[in-house]
Amino acid sequence: MTGQRAAGSVEAVFREDRGRLLALLAARFGDLDLAEEVVSDAMETALERWPVDGVPDKPLAWLLTVARRKALDRIRRDRAVAARLAALRVEADRSAAAHEEPGFDDIPDERLRLFFTCCHPALSMEARTALMLRFLAGLTTPEVARAFLVPAATMAQRIVRAKRKIRDARIPFRVPGPEELPDRLPGALRAVYLVFTEGYAASSGDGLMRPDLADEAVRLARILDGLLPGEREAKGLLALLVLTDARRAARVDAAGNQVLLEDQDRTLWDADLIAEGRRLVVPALTGPGVGPYAVQAAIAALHDEAVSFDATDWPQIVALYDVLLRIEPSPLVALNRAVAVAMRDGPEAGLILLDGLSGAAELRRYHLFHAARADLLGRLGRTAEAADAYRAALALTGNEPERATFQRRLAALTGRSREPGRGR
């Protein structure tokens, strides 16, 4: 076997199974640093051995065996590490025994433990998302740094601090018990959702989207749903992400310009993802106590099912936003509901609702709030006010394709080819 083919095999296993290896070793030894080091060592050994011996029938098992041996060797060489790990292991075993419940023994692999360790409430949301991208999605530290738009050295320090906090606070590598899961699961789902949001609509940069982040978020949602098949909100999140991501190919034109929903070529939407999302929505919505991700997935399904923008079932979408506003009230949900009301009842009705939200500081800092007002004001013929609203949106967005969209709309309102003092 050539070295190139062996390297390709190692890379494939690394991409698919690195998270499983890390989770297995972190759960076994209670130390994420040690797990990461020995996984890297095992991969290096594979690059040396597989070109000579061939790729084993069970690559993951081979890598796990090598990594375990290397971990034990390190522990034997370092008594301080051994003592610390022994204490952590005893504590983790006690904690796991205290929360042992029927059903949790059937989890197919250890990634769920790692998921909840990375998303422990003792960690900041930024630390949670960084750890998930690094250890569960398999991104390198420079790739995670690009996702957060910070230097690689800065992100490396953040990840080190987060791992140190896990170690020093003795955060156990375990699945929360049934009594804890309702409080812990939303944080894990939220972290995945935030990764997808940044991937689907980048907060800054030259591209409208970050497809790499969107892909990783969908992958993480699939892992979480697979490991917690009975959790309806995990299914609802996956449904929401695939139904939204189904429109990706239609969101930019050949020149890289943003294409708004009403102008998109719906034949470019991914029919397989839409079908998958629609299948997932049913169990996510079935039963008492529907969750916010399931409701948002139902809204996304209505958009995807419409044969045209004009044929969208806006009354049903408004009704679903009413539900969402009751179970998860927020200015952003109210903004989206106001836009849907404008589509159902006309721009004046939507604008009244938007103006009623103008006191929310969160929305005053949100470029799409001002863009929505500009659109409705423009439809009502209030050109000067619409232009001011587009200028406010321009001042708040760092995404170049979105800026270009606002500039084109502003130019159409004012009759100028470009906004004074701003280039493209």
Residue 383: both structure tokens together: 């050109």
| Tokens representing residue 413 in the block | 């309102």
pLDDT at 307: 96
Last residue in a domain, options 80, 98, 116: 98
Task: Let me know if residue 389 belongs to a domain.
Answer: yes
For residues 351-363, average pLDDT: 94
Cα–Cα distance for residue pair 311/317, rounded to 1 Å: 12
Residue 77 lies in a domain: yes
Per-residue pLDDT for 181 more than 60?
Answer: yes
Q: Residue 139 pLDDT > 90, yes or no?
A: no
- Total residues belonging to the chain: 424
CB 224 within 8 A of CB 191: no
Among the listed residues 344, 326, 334, the one whose alpha carbon sits nearest the alpha carbon of residue 368: 334
- Of the ranges 30-39, 175-184, 321-330, the best mean pLDDT one: 321-330
pLDDT tens column, 76-127: 887 666 665 665 554 444 344 333 333 333 333 677 788 888 888 888 888 8
Cα–Cα dist 192/211, whole Å = 14
pLDDT tens for each residue of 145-156: 876 768 889 999
Q: Residue 92 has what pLDDT?
A: 47
Residue 408 belongs to some domain of the structure = yes
Determine the Cα–Cα distance for residues 105 and 36; give it in Å rounded to an integer: 25
Provide mean pLDDT across the span 187-202. 87
The structure tokens listed for 121 are: 């409430």
DSSP class of residue 329 equals -
Task: Domain count for the chain, please give it.
Answer: 2
Question: Could you report the per-residue pLDDT of 256-311, keeping only the tens digit for each?
Answer: 899 999 999 999 999 999 999 999 999 999 988 899 999 999 999 999 999 999 99
Q: Give yes or no for a contact between 295 and 324, defined as CB atoms under 8 angstroms apart.
A: yes
| Letter string b/e over residues 53-65, b meaning 16 or more CB atoms within 10 A of that residue's CB | eebeeebbebbbe
Higher-confidence residue of 100 and 31: namely 31
The listed range with the strongest mean pLDDT (179-188, 202-211, 338-347, 396-405) is 338-347
Q: Tell me what pLDDT residue 103 has.
A: 33
pLDDT at 81: 62
* 15: confidence class by pLDDT, cuts 50, 70, 90: low
Among 79, 98, 117, where does a domain finish? 98
Alpha carbon distance 114, 171 (integer Å): 11
Per-residue pLDDT at 22: 86
Tell me the average pLDDT of the chain.
85
Between residues 411 and 94, the one the model is more confident about: 411
Whether residue 18 lies inside any domain: the answer is: yes
Boundaries of domain holding 25: 1-98
Q: Is residue 223 part of a domain?
A: no
* Beta pairing class for 398-399 and 204-205: parallel
What pLDDT sits at residue 118?
86
Quick check: 223 pLDDT over 60? yes
Instruction: Please report, in angstroms and rounded to a whole number, the separation of the first and last CA atoms in the chain.
Output: 52
In a domain, 423, yes or no: yes
Question: 365-404 pLDDT, tens per residue?
Answer: 899 999 999 999 999 999 999 999 999 999 999 889 999 9
- The CA–CA distances, whole Å, from 15 to 10, 111, 138, 245, 290 equal 9, 14, 6, 22, 34
The per-residue pLDDT for 253 is: 94
Across 54-63, 138-147, 165-174, 295-304, least confident range = 138-147
386 domain residue, yes or no: yes
The answer to whether position 63 is within a domain reads yes
Which pLDDT tens digit goes with each residue over 113-132? 888 888 888 888 888 888 88
CA 98/CA 94 separation, integer angstroms: 6
Q: How confident is the model at residue 206 (pLDDT cuts 50, 70, 90)?
A: confident
In angstroms, rounded to a whole number, what is the distance separating the alpha carbons of residues 73 and 63? 15
pLDDT reported for residue 220? 87
pLDDT at position 419 over 60 = no
